[in-house]
Amino acid sequence: MLEHRPPDPPRTEEELLARVRALAGKTLGDIARPLHLRVPRDLRRDKGFVGQTLETALGARAGSRPIPDFWHLGVELKTLPIGKDGRPRESTYVCAVPVDALHGLVWETSHVRRKLARVLFVPVEADPARPIADRRVGRATLWSCDDDPERDTLRADWEELASLIRQGFIDRITAHRGRVLQIRPKGADAHDARATVGEDGWLLATQPRGWYLRAAFTNRVLDRHYARPAATS
DNA sequence: TATTGATCATGC
DNA sequence: GCATGATCAATA
């Protein structure tokens, strides 16, 4: 291959899908090498390595900006770490919970629904026993939350959690709530703090939180995809 | 052992 | 400081 620099962003959805199909079966080492990306020994200090490598390989340019990875296509890229059992090992971060700016939001206009409008899920082997460079990329699926059979559950979870936050109960929310969508801490550490409005209406400090899709849910997304006839080849 | 809560690196 | 990319590691 003469590819020694990151590709330009894909111009069309078809181009993006063709690129991601071409990655299926390759290892992270195969993908990182021509991009001159060093593969870390473990992910403890490089937790974003897999996602960032796939972004680069596919031509995403969003970086850490709050826009979709493929802005012009309206597509968000998410890698799914797949265990030996073939199921996602981890939940999937969606976006930050606007702990102090949820007023006036409904599901239709929520950040969660917008972020999940079109997601390209790319499964990647994540057996801890396998060296990172040897982990293979699987077949991707382009998914839309509005088309998912569990979309009503997604909405119901969002509405329940958003309602609790509006009522000032954010500090009473744990990751146990929500059947498919949950809220968990998402910050530098447990001492990270942001302002919010408490039960009594006063400002108080709380941990920053994020919306996450449960691993059991993304597992069902993959199941449904692979149960279908193969996409046009 | 599945899940929750904590944590890490980087860019702007 | 906040958003991006997530996985780690203690706990239930």
Name the residue with the least CA to C1' distance from nucleotide B7.
A189
CA atoms of A182 and A161, how far apart (whole Å): 8
**CB neighbours (10 Å) of residue A64?**
5
pLDDT for A1 equals: 52
- Give the pTM: 0.92
Does nucleic acid strand C have an atom less than 7 angstroms from the CB of A125? no
CA atoms of A115 and A144, how far apart (whole Å): 10
Q: What fold is seen in the domain A13-40+47-226?
A: ECO RV Endonuclease; Chain A (3.40.600)
Tokens, residue A80: 């799914």
Q: Where are the domains of chain A?
A: 13-40+47-226
pLDDT for A233 equals: 36
Does nucleic acid strand B have an atom less than 7 angstroms from the CB of A228? no
CA torsion sign for A117, A48, A223, A18 is positive
Closest among A29, A58, A43 to A126, alpha carbons compared: A43
Name the residue with the least CA to C1' distance from nucleotide C7.
A47
Mean pLDDT of residues grouped by 10 in chain A (233 residues)?
71 93 94 90 90 90 63 87 91 85 80 91 92 94 94 94 87 90 90 79 83 94 74 41
Does nucleic acid strand B have an atom less than 7 angstroms from the CB of A79? no
Does nucleic acid strand B have an atom less than 7 angstroms from the CB of A206? no
Reported as type and span, the H/E element at residue A108 is: none
The length of chain A, given as a count of residues:
233
